[in-house]
Amino acid sequence: MIKKLLEISFRKDGEHSPLYQQLESQIIQLICRGILKPGQALPSSRSLAQSLQLNRKTVVATYEELNAQGWVETRERSGVYVSSHLPDTSARTIEENSKKLIRSQQPGYHQILKHPADVIAGTDRSMDVNTTGTRQHLYKIDDGFPDARIAPIEQLVREYRRLGKSRFTNQFLMYGPEHGSYRLRVELAKFLNRTRGMQITEKEVLITKGTQMAIYLAAQLLISPGDTVFVPEPGYFDANRTFQLAGGDLVFIPVDKDGMDVDMIEQFCKRKVPKLIYIIPHHHRPTTVTMSAERRMRLMNLACKYGFALLEDDYDFDYHFASNPLLPLATLDAAAHIIYVGSFCKSIAPGIRIGFMVAPEAVINESATIRKLIDRQGEQLLEEATAELLSNGEISRHIKKSYKIYQGRLDNTCRLLSERLEEYLTFERPDGGLAIWANYRKNISASMVASKALKLGLQISDGRNYFFQPNNTMSDSFVRIGYCSMDEAEMAQAIDIWSRSI
């Protein structure tokens, strides 16, 4: 039965991701839809390989990846089974929700969307609460940015110049679609389908100027004054400010090693159902933890049961070193409860303001209407140039190259922290992402260390933008260490200054 299901859903297609990733995605889909139950045996690698006409090594690699991510478990001398720790999902419930909510015919979204005319007007405020001073510094340990020096800027400029001289230049310099460049939306849909296992078209993609704009648009569409919004704590400060600006009442959900506490989410839902839950399941910001497979399934089940929307921020997908990056919830959600946002700012450079929103077509169209009110459109030449880099594989090659560089820099930074700051810091090596989450020992004050470090030529976080609730006693104890934007020698110098400042 299982082999027959996989034969139907599995397609060997050169336009998609590697075969073992395609098979991995299909098995996860069957688990999330309740077709494969917790504790259910999976076919042997030899049997499944023969059935799907694959090399056995491909199936073995798939099972190993699923085991690393917590979807399956291996029992000695018995075989591979769906993890018994996962919740049992009713396939019928998700199927019914899918019919109600999927794509542009989903009344569920229209019930919670505000009309564009009802958007709350807000004043422009600075979101930067992590400024430690204006003094010139020699080094900066940031919150987790890529190294812009290795970005494919020459290739981007080359395409920009070529487009600027083409017969279509005048077209690109005139007003264009508020949804973003058509070609970029097409290429981005292909890229997300290939790398994240999605099944979307350009109609379900909106181009934005970074993830923050996508979060703002989602907040303006979904949240009315007085609506409840669940957010992680610690969490992303700017997102919380955005939800408050839209009139949302924030409820803070703690984060542990497995991500947001879904038990607490379920308890709160019994008292008051939120309009929206904001989640960063992959490399949570700031703690870097990844939400477990069990919690992902339970959270999606709760979304189906209570009818709230999930805003999934996947700002940092590409760099996961313990296994392959976990598939987004948006890939697994058959009932289309999720708005998925991300960008190339962490893959290429923060100054390349190309972000995106993925959602049902009705949501995309209404988001585009709001986007037109605050920013008529993006920069078409930049978007067209980025589309070309996606099409010719330049961005994929850059991600592969930078992956190796950043993995080496993570090793180096962890070693330096252990050698020089072990007396003052505790931290765990992250499975991925562009930063390390650390806790000061001995009641050391993050703000005082940042102030002293600045005088010595190092800018480092003062810890103020991780916890949103006022007077949180932990806010002065943590620091997030971005390890990618400096090479090994620069990081050694920065940590030397940091050590002296303590």
pLDDT on residue 9 = 58
Claim to verify: residue 354 and residue 231 sit in the same structural domain: yes
* Residue 444 maps to a domain: yes
pLDDT on residue 97 = 45
Cα torsion through 213, 215, 219, 221, rounded to 10: 70
The C-alpha atoms of residue 53 and residue 209 are separated, in whole angstroms, by: 44
Cα torsion through 152, 406, 254, 446, rounded to 10: -100
Full domain range(s) for residue 28: 2-82
Residue 376 makes CB contacts below 8 A (sequence gap 6+) with 175, 178
Q: Say which residue the tokens 């996947």 belong to.
A: 314
Claim to verify: residue 385 and residue 401 sit in the same structural domain: no
Q: What is the DSSP string of 369-431?
A: HHHHHH-S---HHHHHHHHHHHHTTHHHHHHHHHHHHHHHHHHHHHHHHHHHSTTTEEE---S
DSSP H or E stretch at residue 288: none
Spatial contact of 261 and 255, defined as CB atoms under 8 Å apart: yes
- Alpha helices, H only, 90-152: 91-101, 107-112
Residues in the chain: 502
Spatial contact of 307 and 108, defined as CB atoms under 8 Å apart: yes
Claim to verify: residue 186 and residue 292 sit in the same structural domain: yes
Q: What is the DSSP string of 471-497?
A: T-GGGGTEEEEE-SSS-HHHHHHHHHH
pLDDT on residue 348 = 80
For 163, the token pair is: 């487009």
Q: Residue 254 forms beta bridges with which residues?
A: 233
pLDDT on residue 17 = 64
The C-alpha atoms of residue 249 and residue 68 are separated, in whole angstroms, by: 37
For 421, the token pair is: 């700051």
Claim to verify: residue 233 and residue 272 sit in the same structural domain: yes
- Alpha helices, H only, 197-322: 210-222, 237-245, 262-271, 293-306
User: Which of 376, 392, 408 marks a domain boundary?
Assistant: 392
Integer angstrom CA distances of residue 93 from 48, 274, 303: 29, 20, 11
Q: Residue 478 forms beta bridges with which residues?
A: 439
* Residue 121 maps to a domain: no
* Residue 60 maps to a domain: yes
Claim to verify: residue 20 and residue 55 sit in the same structural domain: yes
pLDDT on residue 61 = 87
For residue 173, the number of C-alpha atoms closer than 13 Å in the C-beta half-sphere is 9
Q: The domain that contains 107 carries what CATH number?
A: 3.40.640.10
Spatial contact of 109 and 361, defined as CB atoms under 8 Å apart: no
* Residue 387 maps to a domain: yes
Claim to verify: residue 358 and residue 480 sit in the same structural domain: no
Q: The domain that contains 426 carries what CATH number?
A: 3.90.1150.10
Q: Is 337 exposed, middle or buried (0-12, 13-18, 19+ CB in 10 A)?
A: buried
Q: Is the peptide bond before 470 cis (omega within 30 degrees of 0)?
A: no
Spatial contact of 148 and 351, defined as CB atoms under 8 Å apart: yes
Claim to verify: residue 52 and residue 99 sit in the same structural domain: no
User: Which of 392, 410, 437 marks a domain boundary?
Assistant: 392
User: Which of 82, 102, 130 marks a domain boundary?
Assistant: 82
Q: How many domains does the chain have?
A: 3
Claim to verify: residue 420 and residue 472 sit in the same structural domain: yes
pLDDT on residue 324 = 74
* Residue 309 maps to a domain: yes
pLDDT tens digits for range 102-149: 333 344 444 445 544 444 333 333 333 344 444 456 899 999 999 989
pTM of the model: 0.81
Indicate the angle between helix axes 361-374 and 210-222, nearest 10 degrees. Answer: 110
Claim to verify: residue 287 and residue 411 sit in the same structural domain: no
The C-alpha atoms of residue 437 and residue 284 are separated, in whole angstroms, by: 10
Q: The domain that contains 10 carries what CATH number?
A: 1.10.10.10
The C-alpha atoms of residue 455 and residue 129 are separated, in whole angstroms, by: 19
Claim to verify: residue 347 and residue 421 sit in the same structural domain: no
- Give mean pLDDT in consecutive 10-residue pieces for the chain, a chain of 502 residues: 62 61 83 84 88 88 86 86 80 44 40 46 36 61 92 83 70 74 93 89 94 95 96 95 96 95 96 96 94 92 93 90 82 80 84 89 93 80 86 90 93 96 95 94 92 94 88 83 94 95 92
Claim to verify: residue 275 and residue 212 sit in the same structural domain: yes
Q: What is the DSSP string of 33-85?
A: TTSSPTTPBPPPHHHHHHHHT--HHHHHHHHHHHHHHTSEEEETTTEEEE-TT
* Residue 131 maps to a domain: no
* Residue 320 maps to a domain: yes
Claim to verify: residue 341 and residue 408 sit in the same structural domain: no
By DSSP bridging, strand 355-358 and strand 425-427 are: unpaired
pLDDT tens digits for range 159-188: 878 877 766 666 666 666 889 999 999 999
pLDDT on residue 167 = 62
* Residue 33 maps to a domain: yes
